[in-house]
Structure 1
Amino acid sequence: MRWIILILFLVLLEFYSYQALSNLTKNRWIIIAYALFTLVAIGMIAYGFLSFDRSVGQNKTLMMAIALVLLLYMPKLVITIFLFVEDAARLIIGVCNYFVSAAQIEGEFLPERRKFVTQVALGVAAIPFLSIIHGIAVGRYKFRVIKQTVFFDDLPEAFDGFTFTHISDIHCGSFDDKEKIQHAIDVINDQESDLLLFTGDLVNSLANEMDPWLATFQGIREHKYGKFSVLGNHDYGEYVEWDTAAQKENNFKEIKDLHPKMGFSLLLNEKMWIEKEGQRIAIVGVENWGVKFKKVGDLNKATSGVAAEDFKILLSHDPSHWDAEVVSHPKNVQLMLAGHTHGAQFGIEIPGIIKWSPIQYVYKQWAGLYKTAGRYLYVNRGFGYHAYPGRVGIWPEITVFELKRRKN
Structure 2
Amino acid sequence: MGRLIGLLAVFVLIEFYCFQAVRQVTKNKLLRWGYVIVSALGIAYIIYGFSQFDRNHGTNHQSLVAGALVVLFYLPKAIITLLLILEDVVRIIRGIVNYAKGTKVQRNEKESFVPSRRKFVSHIAFGIASIPFISVLHGITIGRYKFEVRKHIIEFEDLPEAFDGFKFTQISDIHSGSFDNEEKIRYAVDLINAQESEALLFTGDIVNSISDEMIPWYDVFSRIRKYKYGKFSILGNHDYGDYAHWDTQEARDKNFEEICDISPKIGFKLLRNEHVWFEKDGQRIAVVGVENWGVRGHFQKLGDLDKSTEGITAKDFKILMSHDPSHWEAKVLEHPKNFQLTLSGHTHGSQFGIEIPGFIKWSPIQYVYKQWAGLYEKVGKYIYVNRGFGYHAYQGRTGIWPEITVIELKRKK
User: What is the CA–CA distance in structure 2 between the aligned matches of 1:226 and 1:61, rounded to whole Å?
Assistant: 37
Deviation at 1:10, TM superposition (A): 1.2
- Which of 350, 354, 361 aligns to 1:355? It is 361
- What is the match of residue 188 of structure 1? 192
Deviation at 1:4, TM superposition (A): 2.3
- Which of 280, 287, 297 aligns to 2:303? It is 297
| 1:172 matches 2:179 | no
- Which of 314, 323, 328 aligns to 2:320? It is 314
Q: Which runs of 5+ in 2 are unaligned?
A: none
Deviation at 1:101, TM superposition (A): 2.5
- What is the match of residue 400 of structure 1? 406
- Which of 226, 241, 252 aligns to 1:237? It is 241
- Which of 277, 280, 296 aligns to 1:276? It is 280
The one-letter code sitting in structure 2 at the alignment partner of 1:352 is: G
User: What is the CA–CA distance in structure 2 between the aligned matches of 1:32 and 1:120, rounded to whole Å?
Assistant: 22
- Which of 340, 347, 365 aligns to 2:371? It is 365
Correspondence list, 1:193-212, <5 A: 193-212=197-216
- What is the match of residue 130 of structure 1? 134
User: What is the CA–CA distance in structure 2 between the aligned matches of 1:178 and 1:225, rounded to whole Å?
Assistant: 28
Correspondence list, 1:92-171, <5 A: 92-102=93-103, 103-105=106-108, 106-171=110-175
- What is the match of residue 23 of structure 2? 22
CA deviation profile, 1:324-353 (whole Å, cap 9, x unmatched): 100010000000000000000000001111
User: What is the CA–CA distance in structure 2 between the aligned matches of 1:88 and 1:406, rounded to whole Å?
Assistant: 59
- What is the match of residue 85 of structure 1? 86
- Which of 319, 323, 343 aligns to 1:337? It is 343
Q: TM-score, normalised by structure 2?
A: 0.97
Moved over 6 A (4+): none
- The count of residues paired between Structure 1 and Structure 2 equals 407
Contact 2:101 2:107 in 1 (8 A): no
User: What is the CA–CA distance in structure 2 between the aligned matches of 1:222 and 1:57, rounded to whole Å?
Assistant: 31
Deviation at 1:35, TM superposition (A): 1.1
The one-letter code sitting in structure 2 at the alignment partner of 1:208 is: D
* SS of equivalent to 2:140: helix
User: What is the CA–CA distance in structure 1 between the aligned matches of 2:157 and 2:386, rounded to whole Å?
Assistant: 24
Deviation at 1:109, TM superposition (A): 1.6
User: What is the CA–CA distance in structure 1 between the aligned matches of 2:402 and 2:52, rounded to whole Å?
Assistant: 29
Shifted more, 103-112 versus 273-282: the winner is 103-112
Deviation at 1:177, TM superposition (A): 0.8
User: What is the CA–CA distance in structure 1 between the aligned matches of 2:384 and 2:27, rounded to whole Å?
Assistant: 54
User: What is the CA–CA distance in structure 2 between the aligned matches of 1:252 and 1:6, rounded to whole Å?
Assistant: 35
User: What is the CA–CA distance in structure 1 between the aligned matches of 2:217 and 2:343, rounded to whole Å?
Assistant: 24
User: What is the CA–CA distance in structure 1 between the aligned matches of 2:241 and 2:308, rounded to whole Å?
Assistant: 23
Deviation at 1:44, TM superposition (A): 1.0
The one-letter code sitting in structure 2 at the alignment partner of 1:312 is: K
CA deviation profile, 1:250-276 (whole Å, cap 9, x unmatched): 111111111011111110000000001
- What is the match of residue 40 of structure 1? 41
Shifted more, 129-138 versus 375-384: the winner is 129-138
Shifted more, 6-15 versus 164-173: the winner is 6-15
- What is the match of residue 53 of structure 2? 52
CA deviation profile, 1:102-123 (whole Å, cap 9, x unmatched): 4323332222211111111001
Deviation at 1:50, TM superposition (A): 2.1
The one-letter code sitting in structure 2 at the alignment partner of 1:355 is: K
Deviation at 1:404, TM superposition (A): 0.2
User: What is the CA–CA distance in structure 1 between the aligned matches of 2:158 and 2:133, rounded to whole Å?
Assistant: 49
Shifted more, 17-26 versus 103-112: the winner is 103-112
Q: CA RMSD in A?
A: 0.9
User: What is the CA–CA distance in structure 2 between the aligned matches of 1:108 and 1:18, rounded to whole Å?
Assistant: 23
The one-letter code sitting in structure 1 at the alignment partner of 2:293 is: W
Deviation at 1:72, TM superposition (A): 1.6
- What is the match of residue 218 of structure 1? 222
User: What is the CA–CA distance in structure 1 between the aligned matches of 2:50 and 2:179, rounded to whole Å?
Assistant: 20
- What is the match of residue 74 of structure 2? 73
- What is the match of residue 287 of structure 1? 291
Q: Which runs of 5+ in 1 are unaligned?
A: none
User: What is the CA–CA distance in structure 1 between the aligned matches of 2:151 and 2:86, rounded to whole Å?
Assistant: 44
Deviation at 1:51, TM superposition (A): 2.5
User: What is the CA–CA distance in structure 1 between the aligned matches of 2:141 and 2:15, rounded to whole Å?
Assistant: 26
| 1:253 matches 2:257 | yes
User: What is the CA–CA distance in structure 2 between the aligned matches of 1:270 and 1:187, rounded to whole Å?
Assistant: 29
* SS of equivalent to 1:104: coil
The one-letter code sitting in structure 2 at the alignment partner of 1:104 is: R
The one-letter code sitting in structure 2 at the alignment partner of 1:5 is: G
